[in-house]
Amino acid sequence: MKAIEFHLSRSSMLFGGFEANLKEAEFVVFGVPFDATSSYRPGSRFAPSTIRNAALNIETFSLRTKLDASELKIHDAGDLTNTTSVSSTIRGITEVVREILSLGKVPVVLGGEHTLTFGAVEAIEGNRGVIIFDAHLDLRDQYPIGIKWSHATVTRRIVESIGSRNVVCVGTRAFCKEEYEYANENKLIYITSHEVVEEGARKTGSKLNRIIDELGLEKIWLSIDLDVLDPSAAPGVANPEPEGLTVKQLLDIISEVVSIKVVGFDIVEAAPGYDRGITAIQAAKIALETCCLIHKARLSTS
C-alpha cells in the first residue's frame, strides 16, 4: 500500500459516509483536485469534496440493481496530494490506480479535470480499452497552441498510447475540424448524443457491448465527463454544451455496458462554482449507481 499512503491524504469527509477499511473494501475512492489546464470555467479542483458532500445527502438505494450502496464495501482513501503539475498528477494517479487494481479492488476516481483519465488508463495492464462519455472528442494535438497536455487533448494522448481501436467515445456533439478529421482518419468509434436519442440508450449500450466483443477488449475503464449531460441536467461543468444526454440515458447506457470487464471508472469536469450543487448531486448519483452495477456484475460471476 505504498502508493496509496505516499500519494493520498485522507479527508475528514468520506464519500457517502461509508467506511470500509482498505483491506476489506471492494471499491476504493480517491479525489484528484486538479484543474490547471481548464480553459473556460475553472473550479473542478473543488469537485471531489463537493461530490462527497452530495453523496452524504442523497438516498443510496438503486432501483436498477435492487441494491443499497450503503451496504457496499467502499473505502475513501482521500485526495491526491502532489497536483503541482500535469506530469506529477498523472504519475501519481497511475501509481495509485495500479496499486488499487493489484489489490483486486475497483478504483473510483473523482476529478478534477479530464486530463486525469490518461493516468488511470496507463495503470491498466493487458488488453485494455476505455469508454469515454463526453460532449467533446478531446482530440486536439495541442490546446492552447504549444500545449500537448490538457483537458482538450486527453483522448488524443490516450489514442496515441493504446490505439484508436481501443477507445470509444459516447455522447459527443462538440468538436473542431481537426478532431473530426483525426477521428475519421484513425477510425475512432464515436457515438453522438443525437444517435443516442434516435436509437435509444439501451440499444446504444447493446451496440457498445458488440463493439467491445468485436475488439476483444478484456479490461474496460469508464470515463464520465459530466458535460456529456445536457446543461439543463448538469449546469456546473467546465465546458457545457447543448443537446446532451439526460442522467437516465447515461445510466441506462452504463447499465448495459457494465460487466466484469469494467475494472474502474472516473467522474470528471464538475465545476461546483457554477450551480447550486445540482451537478455534484448528479455526479454522486452516477457514482453510487455505477458502483452498484459493478458489484452486481461481479456477484453474478462469483
Per the annotation, binding residues are 114, 134, 136, 138, 225, 227
Task: Quote the cell numbers at residue 247.
Answer: 442522467
Question: Exposure of 126 by Cβ count < 10 A (0-12 exposed, 13-18 middle, 19+ buried)?
Answer: exposed
What three-state secondary structure class fits 192? Answer: strand
* Packing angle of the helix pair 278-300, 247-257 (nearest 10 deg): 20
Q: Which helix (H) or strand (E) holds 137?
A: none
Q: Which residues are annotated as a binding site for Mn(2+)?
A: 114, 134, 136, 138, 225, 227
Give the residues across from 222 on adjacent strands.
Answer: 131, 265
CB 106 within 8 A of CB 37: no
Q: Which helix (H) or strand (E) holds 189?
A: strand 189-192
Nearest partner of 48 among 268, 282, 285, judged by Cα:
268
CB 151 within 8 A of CB 113: yes
What three-state secondary structure class fits 29? Answer: strand
Compute the distance between CA of residue 289 and CA of residue 283 in angstroms, rounded to an integer: 10
Compute the distance between CA of residue 81 and CA of residue 31 in angstroms, rounded to an integer: 9
> Rg (Cα) of the chain, in Å, rounded?
17
167-172 β-sheet, strand order: 8-9, 74-80, 27-32, 106-111, 262-268, 219-225, 128-133, 167-172, 189-192
Give the residues across from 221 on adjacent strands.
Answer: 130, 264
